[in-house]
Amino acid sequence: MNPEIRSVIADDELLAREKLRILLQSETGVHVIAECRDGSQTIAALKEHQPDLVFLDIHMPPTDGFQVLHSIPNERMPLVIFTTAYDSYAIRAFEEQALDYLLKPFDQQRLHRAIERTRNELLKLHDGLLARQMVQLFGTTAQKPRSERLVIKTGGRVLFLDTNEIDWIEAAANYVRVHAGKESLLVRESISALCQRLDSCSFVRVHRSIITNVSKIKELQPCNSGEYIVILKDGKQLPCSRSYRGELQHLIQP
C-alpha cells in the first residue's frame, strides 16, 4: 500500500509552481497542501502543515532554500527535494541531507523517480507515522558516513547514488564509467579523484584504471607474475596489476 504524500511546493516563479503542480497530478497519492512564493511563506507553511515532503527551490529572494531548512527544527523537517536550474548546489544539497535534486527543466519521468524514492523512504518509517515528522534526517542520517551516498553529475542530471549499488568503476580518458547493476554512468571526473571520495574500507583500487566494490568480489584467481584476476559475483572478470596487489592483501590474508 502506497503512503499518501502531503506536499508543499516552494518556488518564487508562478509558472514553475504551476508546472510542478500539474505534473504531480499524475502521481497517485500525492497531495499539494500549500504553495509558497518566498522563504517566509515556506517556513510558515512547513510549521503549520508539517508536510511529508517539500519541493524547495534554492533561489527565492530575499532568502534561499538552505536558509529555510535551517529555520525549521529537525524533528519537524519534511523530506526535501530541491528543484533548481543550477547544478552547482548539488554537493551542498547532499550535505543538507536532501532526498533528491531535480534540475529544471525536469520531466514527468524524472519527477516520478523522485516520488517513488519518497514513497520508499516513507515506507521505512515505523508505527504508521508516514513521515509526518522527519525521521531525524538531519540527525540519524547525518551520523552515517558520507561515503554511503555519492553525488555524481551524468547526462545533464545530478544523481544521489547509494555506493552499495556500485559494482565497479573504470577510467575512460577524462571520464570514469560507473557500473551499477544494469546501469553504466559516464561521469566527468578522474578515477583518482573519485577514489578519494569513496570509503577505502568498501572500495579497492585493483588497477590504475579500475576500482571495485569489495562486497561484490566473489573470487581472486592468481595468474602470471604475481597478478590476480578479480571475479565479481555477476561473473565479471577484472585485472589486478602487481602495483595494486597490496590493496588486496587484506582480503587474501587468513
Percentage of the chain modeled with pLDDT above 90 = 43
> CATH number for the domain including 235?
2.40.50.1020
Please state the domain count of the chain: 2
Strand runs labelled E in the chain: 5-10, 30-36, 53-57, 59-60, 63-64, 79-84, 100-103, 149-154, 157-162, 168-172, 175-180, 183-187, 203-207, 210-213, 217-222, 228-232, 237-240
What is the per-residue pLDDT for 250?
A: 63
**Whole-number pLDDT of residue 182:** 87
Per-residue model confidence as pLDDT tens digits over 58-111: 988 888 899 998 888 877 789 999 999 988 888 888 888 888 999 999 999 999
Q: Is a pLDDT exceeding 70 seen at residue 139?
A: no
Same domain, 11 and 126: yes
| Total Cβ atoms within 10 A of residue 25 | 9
Tell me: pLDDT of 142 over 50.
no
Based on the fold, state whether residues 83 and 175 are members of the same structural domain.
no
Q: Which domain holds residue 209?
A: 146-252
On the question of pLDDT at 224 being above 70, the answer is: no
On whether both 159 and 247 belong to a single domain, the answer is: yes
pLDDT digits (tens, 9 = 90+) for 43-60: 999 999 999 999 999 988
Per-residue pLDDT, averaged over 106-120, amounts to: 92
168 and 138 co-located in one domain: no
Q: Are residues 159 and 243 in the same domain?
A: yes
